[in-house]
Structure 1
Amino acid sequence: MTATITFRPDEDTRLALDELTADGTPVSTVVRDALVAAAARHAKARLRAEAESLAADPDDRAEAAQVLRDLESLRAW
């Protein structure tokens, strides 16, 4: 999917773009890299929040403990 996205950078964004493109990196590359990095941070934050929610859930913790007890009998040593 190819799309053209237009935005109006504010002063902070303009300064950031100037810094990131000073070495000749195209603005489109900087923007693509920033979006991919932001999406990765977002996914990690979402997973972290889900893990914290499960860790705080007493029913889930009890079920996990039961699974570990059930698997203990299958250990080879």
Structure 2
Amino acid sequence: MADTITFRLDEDARAPEVLTKDGTAVSTAVRSAPIDAARRKAGAGTRAEAERLAEDESDRAEAVQVLRDMETLRAW
């Protein structure tokens, strides 16, 4: 069974108006919002990790070596 969450928006929070402007039901918009936020947060974490690895000289050197090793396995 799904959890029920009750919340109140303050006057500055106009998200439901924006999210339902295209005809989307309020309940659908409210359910989708935390899923979208979680995906953005996960994506930000992935981007940060990629940036960290891109700056890691030893990781880049290892990647170059792996590519060299794999080149010998090419059939063409």
Q: 1:59: Cα distance to partner?
A: 0.8
Structure 1 position 12 matched with structure 2 position 3: no
Could you give the per-residue CA deviations for residues 21-71 of structure 1, whole angstroms, max 9, x where no partner exists?
456644322111111111111111111111111111111001000101111
Alpha-carbon RMSD: 1.8
Query: Matched residue of 1:11: which SS?
Result: coil
Name the structure 2 match of 1:38.
Answer: 37
TM-score (norm 2): 0.82
Structure 2 residue runs of 5 or longer lacking an equivalent are none
Structure 1 residue runs of 5 or longer lacking an equivalent are none
Deviates more, 1:15-24 or 1:47-56: 15-24
Number of residue equivalences: 76
More helix by share: 1
Name the structure 1 match of 2:54.
Answer: 55
Deviates more, 1:4-13 or 1:65-74: 4-13
